[in-house]
């Protein structure tokens, strides 16, 4: 279909195409001609969709704030699941993880050498020295918010604390590389180079993703990338930055008993922070963190 220049823009603004996204589309086409991967229109979030995701993120972040205020020695990961499940419901949301491809709980809790997708359990009691990732995803009115944070239990070994802090910094370095009309490869490269400089390795098989109208949308967001590769970051593209970073080797395996929990192959510690962002005309806006 050819969109007439005087017909309404595809973005739902109500403006004429020629006064709205025509030059934007021309620019994308130009990048595409030059060999770049570019997003389709359905990945470009409208202001209304962005507002919907922000409302979902309020719940997501309220859950993580609560976890931060109450986590500690003796807390079980099931307690965390109970908190997240209750707060999400009280605030009118739905936990996206519960029942997602069979995942049995409302949040992922990944301790020490667990890389991601840890399943909350009564049996997992947090102990002094543990580092734990809590990953929440909330749906509100069909819009998704997805973010995760690390928590340290009591006194933590210096190298474990450094890993947690460095991975936080890695995400900030990734964020600084988010600029419209640059590529996801630029962002991932910045994250990976920083992590390598600290002697860590970034997990290759699992990464970030587009998000907003669904849990996992295009694009796939890798950190083991070269500059000027992967999808073009155009204004309105919404995705997560969520590197999983191992103190040792990058290799991982999946728990054969539950088919979910991912561990480091060499039993080294792993840390992850996740933020959800939308690309803007000048850089990015944080949606959930």
Q: Which of 218, 223, 184 is nearest to 205 (CA)?
A: 223
- Least distance in Å: CB of 256 to Co ion? 23
Q: Of 79, 146, 186, 217, which lies in the binding site for ligand MF3, with binding defined by CB under 6 A?
A: 146
User: In terms of CB distance, is 11 or 112 closer to ligand MF3?
Assistant: 112
Q: Using alpha carbons, select from 8, 102, 50, 39 the residue that is nearest to residue 284.
A: 50
Q: Is the peptide bond before 219 cis (omega within 30 degrees of 0)?
A: yes
| Closer Cβ to ligand MF3, 117 or 149, answer by number | 117
Min separation Cβ 262 and ligand MF3, Å? 9
Q: Give, as ranges, the residues between 217 and 276 that touch ligand MF3 (CB under 6 A).
A: 240, 242, 274
Q: Per rule CB under 6 A, is residue 135 in the interface with ligand MF3?
A: yes
- Contacting Co ion within 215-254 (CB under 5 A): 240
Instruction: Assess contact for 170 and 243: CB atoms under 8 A.
Output: yes
Nearest to 47 by CA among 73, 14, 79: 14
Nearer to ligand MF3, 81 or 146 (CB): 146
The reply on whether position 288 binds Co ion by CB under 5 A is no
DSSP structure class, residue 69: H
Answer with the entry of ligand MF3, Co ion, none that 21 interacts with (C-beta below 5 to 8 A by kind): none
Which residues, including other chains, have CB under 8 Å from residue 15's CB and lie 6 or more apart? 8, 9
Stretch 86-125 residues interacting with ligand MF3 (CB under 6 A): 97, 100-101, 103, 108, 117
Q: How far apart are CA 44 and CA 238, in angstroms?
A: 7
Minimum gap (Å) between residue 199 Cβ and ligand MF3: 25
Q: Are 232 and 178 in contact (CB under 8 A)?
A: no
Measured distance CA(154)–CA(159) in Å, rounded:
14
130 counts as binding Co ion under rule CB under 5 A: no
Alpha helices by DSSP H, listed for 177-261, are: 184-197
CB burial of residue 105 (10 Å; 0-12, 13-18, 19+): buried
Residue with smaller CB distance to ligand MF3, 97 or 112: 97
The CB-of-8 to Co ion minimum distance in angstroms stands at 33
Q: Which of these, 222, 275, 288, lies nearest to 37 by C-alpha position?
A: 222
| Residues 134-163 within binding reach of Co ion (CB under 5 A) | 135, 146, 148
Residues contributing to the site for Co ion (CB under 5 A): 135, 146, 148, 240, 274
Residues contributing to the site for ligand MF3 (CB under 6 A): 97, 100-101, 103, 108, 117, 135, 137, 146, 240, 242, 274
């Amino acid at each position: 279909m050819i969109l007439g220049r005087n017909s309404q823009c595809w973005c739902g603004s109500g403006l004429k195409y020629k006064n709205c996204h025509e030059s934007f589309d021309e620019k994308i086409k130009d990048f595409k001609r030059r060999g770049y991967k570019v997003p389709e229109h359905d990945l470009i979030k409208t202001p209304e969709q962005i507002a919907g995701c922000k409302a979902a993120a309020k719940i997501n972040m309220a859950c993580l704030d609560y976890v931060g205020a109450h986590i500690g020695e003796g807390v079980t990961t099931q307690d965390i699941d109970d908190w997240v499940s209750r707060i999400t419901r009280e605030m009118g949301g739905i936990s996206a993880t519960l029942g997602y491809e069979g995942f049995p709980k409302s949040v992922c809790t990944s301790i020490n050498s667990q890389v991601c997708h840890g399943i909350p359990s009564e049996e997992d009691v947090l102990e002094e020295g543990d580092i734990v990732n809590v990953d929440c995803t909330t749906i509100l009115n069909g819009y998704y918010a997805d973010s995760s944070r690390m928590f340290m239990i009591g006194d933590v070994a210096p190298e474990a604390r450094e890993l947690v802090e460095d991975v936080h910094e890695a995400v900030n370095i990734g964020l600084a590389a988010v600029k419209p009309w640059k590529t996801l490869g630029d962002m991932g490269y910045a994250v990976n180079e920083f992590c390598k400089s600290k002697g860590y390795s970034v997990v290759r098989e699992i990464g970030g993703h587009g998000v907003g109208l669904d849990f996992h949308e295009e694009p796939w967001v890798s950190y083991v990338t070269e500059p000027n590769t992967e999808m073009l970051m155009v204004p309105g593209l919404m995705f997560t930055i969520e590197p999983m970073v191992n103190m040792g080797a990058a290799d991982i395996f999946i728990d054969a008993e539950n088919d979910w929990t991912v561990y480091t192959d060499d039993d080294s510690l792993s840390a992850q922070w996740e933020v959800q962002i939308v690309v803007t005309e000048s850089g990015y806006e944080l949606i959930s963190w």
